[in-house]
Structures are given as structure tokens and as C-alpha cells.
Amino acid sequence: MPADPLHRAATPQRSTTSQPPGGSGASAIEVRRSARRRRTVSAYREGDRTVVLIPARMSEAEEQRWVNVMLDKLAAQESKRVLGDAELTERAERLSAQYFDGRARPTSVRWVTNQNTRWGSCTPAEGSIRLSHRLQGMPEYVIDYVVLHELAHLLVPGHGPRFWRLLEAYPRTERARGYLEGVVAAERLPHLPGARGE
């Protein structure tokens, strides 16, 4: 979400930065208090930080509540946004630089609709990565994990210890794997007739 230029112009009375609830791997949160802001609260992403703008008079408890509300709101907005293939390739390059020292160099990263049993696939000889369209709408950290998984295959072909050591660099690996396992488990649950409409 782009920064609001009006909010950048405001002079904050106090600004604090903290790590978000939910552990490592998430971006830092910067809370900016402004005496000019009366009632509204807003938030946006700025690089690897989340900036939350609140009125200066808010209590610490109100601040924490609004930070959580705005984090949830941003996450919901981002999960609805579908990255294009060019954005996926750019994201893969950024993830490779961050976690693999830029050693994994994909030639293309794109969405495909013919992968219903796999989340992603990679052809190391071509450097191409394909992601299942079923990932669209999932949290970004899950998509990042699948991209990193396929990037790791550009460096190590199988799923041996060396492969998993590469993925240990990504702090949300276990969380993302758990999310994907939950999706698969939910798809296998028996669907009761009429359960939705009643």
C-alpha cells in the first residue's frame, strides 16, 4: 500500500518501533503519534516496516489494539492482491538475494493453472519456476516460502539435508509449511451436504 503523502508531511509527536507479535520473520512496526491527528488511524508498508499512524492522545492499550487491527487489515488487503508474473520474478530475485546471497537465479517465475497436486515446481536446467494458482490469495509469507523452496531447487535438486539447511534461513518456513498442510487437510475433510446453507 503506498504511503499517503499527507501523512508524511505531518510531524509526529512521538514515534516508536517494535517487533510485531507473532515472532520473527515479520516486519518491524513503527507507531507514529501526531497531535494533528484527532480520530483516524491508518497504516501502510514502508520497505520492511509497517507504519501505523495514530492520534497522540491514545493510551498504550488503545495503541496496541489499533496496531493489531491495522495489521489484520493490511494482511487482508494484501492477501486479495494477486502478484503478476513480473512481480513474482522480482520477488524471487529479492528473496534469493536476502536468503541465498543471490546464488539462485531464476529465468522466469510464473503462475500456472495445471498444478493441482503441487504448490510449485522448478526446472533447474531452464531456471524456470512455476507456482500453482491455488496459492493466490494466501498470505505473502506462504507464497515467499514456496518461491524460496523452488529457488532452493535451483541450487540443490533433491530434498536432502543440504536442501533443508538452505530453507532454515527463512524464519517462517515451519509456519508456512504448517499453513499449507492445514489447507491440504481441510481439502480432505468430508463435506456434509447442506452444511453451508443451513
Instruction: With 0.75 as the threshold, say if the pTM is over it.
Output: no
Residue 155's pLDDT is: 95
Residue 154's pLDDT is: 95
Residue 117's pLDDT is: 86
Q: Check pLDDT > 80 for residue 35.
A: yes
Q: Check pLDDT > 80 for residue 121.
A: yes
Residue 193's pLDDT is: 60
Residue 197's pLDDT is: 46
pLDDT bucket at 71, cuts 50 / 70 / 90: confident
Residue 25's pLDDT is: 41
Residue 81's pLDDT is: 60
Least confident stretch, 28-37, 149-158, 183-192: 183-192
- Mean model confidence pLDDT for the chain: 81
Q: Check pLDDT > 70 for residue 21.
A: no
CA neighbours closer than 13 Å in the CB half-sphere of residue 12: 13
> Which grid coordinates belong to 76?
487482508
Q: Label each residue of the chain as H, E or C.
A: CCCCHHHHHCCCCEEEEECCCCCCCCCEEEEEEECCCCCCCEEEEECCEEEEEEECCCCHHHHHHHHHHHHHHHHHHHHHCCCCHHHHHHHHHHHHHHHHCCCCCCCEEEEECCCCCCCEEEECCCCEEEEEHHHCCCCHHHHHHHHHHHHHHHHCCCCCHHHHHHHCCCCCHHHHHHHHHHHHHHHHCCCCCCCCCC
